[in-house]
Amino acid sequence: MAGEHRVGYELRVVLLLGLAYGFAFYDRMTMAFLSPFVVKDFALSNAQVGALGSGLSLTWALGAYFIGRWSDRLGRRKPFLLGALLIFSLCSVLSGLSTGFWPLLLSRIVMGAAEGPFLPICLAIIAAASPPRRRGLNSGIVQNGFGSLLGNALAPLLVVAIAQHWGWRASFYMAGLPGLLLLLLVWRFIHEPPAAPATPSSPAGPDGAAGFLAMLAHRNIALCALISCLAVGAIVLGSIFLPLYLVQVRGYTPSTMAKIMAILGLCPVIGGVAVTWLSDRIGRRPPMIVFGLLMALCPLAALYVEGSAALLTALMFIGWIGIGIFPLFMGVIPAETLAFRNTAAAMGIVVAVGEIVGGVIAPVVSGWIADQSSLALPLAIQAGMSLGAGLVALGLRETNPAVLARRGSVTV
């Protein structure tokens, strides 16, 4: 592919996949921002609110690994991407049609199965379309830039505003429309990436796809999976319980809560670009450590900082910039560790393990704890998980090719 044409296609991939993942994340986060409305209508307990997040996270995890592995076996990415766009968009509409807890839970479960493999497959396509000097940045722009801008910054404002004017069900209906439009654009303008060549040293089975344990035998893959448990748990607990804490404990109105969450939604955009850009220059490991620890500031500020909403929001904003590490441990480090073979399955392992532990178990347990005590406990658990993610990152081995070349090293 000629240089100019390659750069043009690279930009197209980043733009379209960024929008597609952004609206996938918008669909996922809609439930969190509508929780005060849905809790009131359906008389849900905190444990049931946690279960809605956990159900989606469970099937997200299973889909991330098994469908990602299926994609690796077939050597195909695009058909899975298109199927996921169609299913999770329709599931958003089904969420709006729910008549109670169980139908709503079922719609979220099916949505999770479709959205789970979406990010690993997106990142695999981006890794194939990007040169090494922009691989981290492009992954960060798609996952944290578009994902956070649409799912964390735009979503609370639109979702709550639509719910206040036309009801919470209308918010679910409208959340599904962009995915259907992007289905057509991705089908028309994104190419199937070339398959990575197999090598004798790759831990692949007869079908060319590495096994679960074979990939976890890589130190970085195992550590990224552990970091994923802690970091995913932290962000899921924050997304589920922080809106409720701000309304029920802090006493803010839903509109004020939406504004605070929208402002927080901007910081992953900043972090997703800044952290990954920094990792392209100084290496993947140092930003993982520093910004992983920084995430703890958000829940700690919510719990202990008294005073104006502006001060509280500013401190939480600074802490939430740490979410910029997500593209690194979910996509870039696994891809570089395995030299771009079996990338969707490897990323799927990291996402799956993180979603099961951090996205399934943590919200249910934390919701039960909140019912027994208060909504402060889930935020305290969130802070502890954030600190743990930064500490585990100390054990990572560097994978940035440019940094390793300067050191005269090789990728492990």
Residue type, 261: M
What is the rounded CA–CA span in Å between residue 210 and residue 218? 12
For helices 376-392 and 285-294, give the axis angle rounded to 10 degrees: 160
What is the rounded CA–CA span in Å between residue 134 and residue 259? 33
Lowest mean pLDDT among 131-145, 277-291, 309-323: 131-145
Q: Thinking of the domain 9-192+210-407, which architecture would CATH place it in?
A: Up-down Bundle (1.20)
Torsion of CA 393, 395, 397, 403, to 10 degrees: 60
What is the rounded CA–CA span in Å between residue 381 and residue 362? 9
pLDDT tens digits along 80-122: 889 988 998 899 899 999 989 999 999 999 998 888 788 778 8
Cα of first residue to Cα of last residue in the chain, in angstroms, is: 29
Among the listed residues 389, 376, 401, 407, the one whose alpha carbon sits nearest the alpha carbon of residue 296: 389
Helix (H, G, I), strand (E, B) or coil at 204: strand
Which residues on neighbouring strands pair with residue 204, listed in sequence order? 210
CB contact at 8 A, 363 and 35: no
Total residues found in the chain within this entry = 412
Domain boundaries, the chain: 9-192+210-407
Give residues with Cβ within 8 angstroms of 34, minimum separation 6. Answer: 159, 160, 163, 168, 171, 172
pLDDT at 201 over 90: no
CB contact at 8 A, 96 and 170: yes
Angle at 104 between CA 110 and CA 70, to 5 degrees: 5
pLDDT tens digits along 320-360: 899 889 889 987 888 888 765 666 677 778 877 887 888 77
Question: pTM for this structure?
Answer: 0.69
Here the tokens at position 28 are 């996922």
Q: How many CA atoms lie within 13 A of 190 on its CB side?
A: 30
Angle at 272 between CA 267 and CA 273, to 5 degrees: 105
Lowest mean pLDDT among 149-153, 204-208, 209-213, 316-320: 204-208
pLDDT tens digits along 377-410: 999 999 999 999 999 999 999 988 888 888 775 4
Here the tokens at position 273 are 């670009």
